[in-house]
Amino acid sequence: MNNRFEDRVVLVTGAGSGMGRAVALRLAREGAALALWGRRAAPLQQVADEIAATGGRALVHPCDIADPAAIARGLDVLMAEFGALHGVFANAGHLGAFTPLSEVAPEAFDELVRVNLIGTQQTVAQCLARMGAGAALINASWTAGAVMPGTGAYAATKAGLAAITRVFAVEAGPRGQRVNAISPGVILTPMAAQVLDTDLSRRLSDHTPLRRNGQPGDVAGTAAWLLSDDAGFVTGQNIVVDGGFTLGGVLR
């Protein structure tokens, strides 16, 4: 494993499980010092312990991104510990219940907007304000460009993140800051397990050209590349990592 992130500090939100955990561990293996954020301390500490066991360094800081003031406090702690910030994977989000869009209650929509859209926007905005040249990566979703019934409210917030990514990229580019998004397909995370029963999971994998659903580690390599200098001329892009699920071809 190379050391693309040696002497780099990267913040990962939603780092206690799923894609956040996988990306944090990948970045640590490539030399990054990590700031791990999430709402619960115990899963974050488990990830930090894994990183420490391989000689890495990680700072655990419970933080709810739905609170902009909590983001600011968390960044104060990060800067006091590391003295710099070079990248952020804005991964934290909320799926909500599978509900037909016509039946989504306003308060359920509000929660998704508050966490997925505003929380991510505030995370990236406040990180960019603390960085010099660096990279931000937003976790969007394949549902922003394709349809899965029941996820309409969630997909709307993720489509908003795709737009936010492009605007951030244009506004931050002159400062040497890159902003991209990643749109994972069907990834078998603990959050996905809340809504995917065995039959639905099988039907989704059968629709995928690679004939399987994704694992968190399938996202980690692409995320690390986009946060690294290897993607130094890539900004404003939304990279889909879905095993071909959204291609829509006729399967043989």
DSSP string, 198-219: HHHHHHHHHTSTTSS-B-THHH
Domain boundaries along the sequence of the chain: 9-188+216-241
Which class would CATH give 9-188+216-241? alpha beta
What is the per-residue pLDDT across 153-185, written as a single tens digit (0 to 9) for each? 999 999 999 999 999 999 999 999 999 999 998
Q: How far is 150 from 98, CA to CA, in rounded Å? A: 4
| Residue from 53, 95, 173, 110 nearest 45 by CA | 53
Does the pTM surpass 0.95? The reply is no
pLDDT reading at 241 higher than 60: yes
Q: Which residues are catalytic?
A: 154
The pair of structure tokens assigned to 39 is 């709402």
> What does the mean pLDDT of the chain come to?
92
